[in-house]
Amino acid sequence: MLTDNVLLSHIKGNLGYPFTEIELLDKDILHYSKDIVLRKFFSPYYPAIKFHKMSLDDPDVKTDVDNRFKILDPDNAGIIEIIAVLRDYSALMYFGSVDFYGTLTYSAIPDWAMRAVQSQLTMSNSAFNSTHQLIYPNYIELRPPRFYQSGDILVIYEAEHVNFNHIPTYAEQYLMDLCLAYIKRIIGQIRGKYSELSTVFGNININYSEMKQEGQELWDKVMEHITTKPPYNMIEIF
């Protein structure tokens, strides 16, 4: 599992020693890595997949719009997209089956046709025939409204990572390199403010352009990889 210390060691080791706190403190590195790179650049391509049970009767999730509810993410993470909304379908009535085998007789056609029309009307007014929409930042609208006035639903959605606990193992290296690239670009900009440092040992030249270029090249390489990965797909089977 990726931790703060592992990430700091990776970044500071690749920056080259001596690494001094005149440029970035450890807390600054973690701030850029977690609050910017992890949440805004990495999460859209390797999001946290969350399963969140909601009670539509909970006053904390209700809004002024009957079919709009607030998603209370336990980590207060930004929601990227809703994958699916599942609910208990056991209360639905099933009738008017149109299954048949073989060839219909002439006398059976009217009854079969009536059941076919009945089934179509049932489906069009069924909770199976429903849609949902994410209203940013953290609201969900459920349609048609008459099926979502009460009861429980399970919302499956993509969210931003807020820490390193749930990063996929196979993607940890991508994140570490992405953070390293971002920090190199930041330090390159900082070093560009002063071309040399005066010390007791004399002036030290700072090669900021090389650091910045290395960061940009690594950033482009990693982003090209993660932006071309296949998307997450979920298939609902009832």
- The tokens of 184 are what? 């190199």
Q: Alpha-carbon distance 63 to 161, whole Å?
A: 26
Number of Cβ within a 10 Å radius of residue 180: 25
Query: How do the residues of the chain divide into helix, strand and coil, expressed in percent and rounded to 5?
Result: 40, 20, 40
- The tokens of 7 are what? 């990430």
- Residue partners of 131: CB distance under 8 A and separation at least 6: 142, 143
Q: Which residues of the chain have pLDDT under 70?
A: 16-23, 88-103, 119-129, 193-206, 230-238
Domain ranges for the chain, please list them. 4-45+162-226, 49-159
The pair phi, psi for residue 80, each rounded to 5°, is -90, -50
Does the model's pTM come out above 0.95?
no
Residue 125 pLDDT: 59
Residue 92 pLDDT: 46
Q: Can you state the angle between helices 172-191 and 208-226, rounded to 10 degrees?
A: 150
Residue 197 pLDDT: 62
**Which ranges of 80-230 would DSSP assign to H, the alpha helix?**
109-124, 172-191, 208-226
Q: Alpha-carbon distance 138 to 134, whole Å?
A: 7
